[in-house]
Amino acid sequence: MLVNQSQLNIVRAGSYITYSSLKEIGNRILESFPGIIIRYDLIHEDMPFVDSIDALLLTMILDEGIGGHTLGITDANLKTRDSDEFYNSIFGGKNPKNDVAVVSTRKLGPETIDSREEYDLFISRTSKVSVHEVGHNLGLTDHASYKMAADGSLCPMSRGEINRFGFKGYVTAIIDGRGFDFCDECTDFLSRVYDASDALH
Ligand SMILES: [Zn+2]
Ligand SMILES: [Zn+2]
């Protein structure tokens, strides 16, 4: 690996999400990858107001402007070039050619966040999609099936099928069903590839 994976740049890409929210998300990521991701920096990247942006293009912009191991968080719609209506708008994506993943908060929360519960749900969903995409950055792959972690929630790498649920149903069935602990298969992979004891030195 050319990039130091243990240091993650969390980039607010033209989003209104607050720094304290980003910190909560960053802390959840550290807890999900103990000894593998050991610190994060919060960075703001100015972007012209856009309603939607090509996901791959955004990863390239962030790789060029910031580089390294990076997670971009935007409230713009993330688009792909898929002609299928269900798949050309995504919650998150990762560019296999660099170490940049991006997450869209657009479909993860209520329009307005008025209560503590709504806020917590929004942070929890954004954190779960972020952990999934950072998992891809670290080499983990999607589970098409429903793999459980030891705590009984879905492994963060569970993918499921969007077109079986529609977007709203997908959020409640799959994203809300995920926890922050990985299944045995993912845990074995991470401990084989990243020697956590090395990362601490
Ligand atoms: Zn995935
Ligand atoms: Zn797993």
Q: What are the pLDDT digits (tens) for 8-50?
A: 999 999 878 999 999 999 999 999 999 999 999 999 998 877 8
Q: What is the pLDDT of residue 168?
A: 85
Ligand nearest to the CA of residue 159, numbered in listed order:
1
Q: What is the pLDDT of residue 145?
A: 83
Q: Provide the residues around ligand 2 (an ion) whose CB is within 5 A.
A: 147, 155, 157, 182-183, 186
Q: What is the pLDDT of residue 59?
A: 96
> Nearest 5°: CA angle at 175, between 6 and 3?
15
Q: What is the mean pLDDT of each run of 10 residues along the chain (201 residues)?
A: 85 90 98 96 88 94 95 94 76 94 91 88 97 96 92 94 82 94 96 71 44
Q: What is the pLDDT of residue 146?
A: 86
Core vs surface per residue 10-43: b (16+ CB within 10 A) or e = bbbbbbebeeebbebbbebbeebbebbbbebeeb
Ligand nearest to the CA of residue 190, numbered in listed order:
2
Pairing of strands 89-90, 77-79: antiparallel
pTM for the complete prediction? 0.93
Cα–Cα distance for residue pair 25/21, rounded to 1 Å: 6
Domain ranges of the chain: 7-199
* Cβ atoms 189, 136 nearer than 8 A: no
Kindly give the distance from the C-alpha atom of residue 120 to the centroid of ligand 1, in angstroms, as a whole number. Answer: 23
Kindly state the DSSP code that residue 149 receives in the 8-state scheme: P
Q: Domain 7-199 has what CATH class?
A: alpha beta
Kindly give the distance from the C-alpha atom of residue 5 to the centroid of ligand 1, in angstroms, as a whole number. Answer: 18
Ligand nearest to the CA of residue 156, numbered in listed order:
2
Kindly state the DSSP code that residue 154 receives in the 8-state scheme: B
Q: What is the pLDDT of residue 1?
A: 47
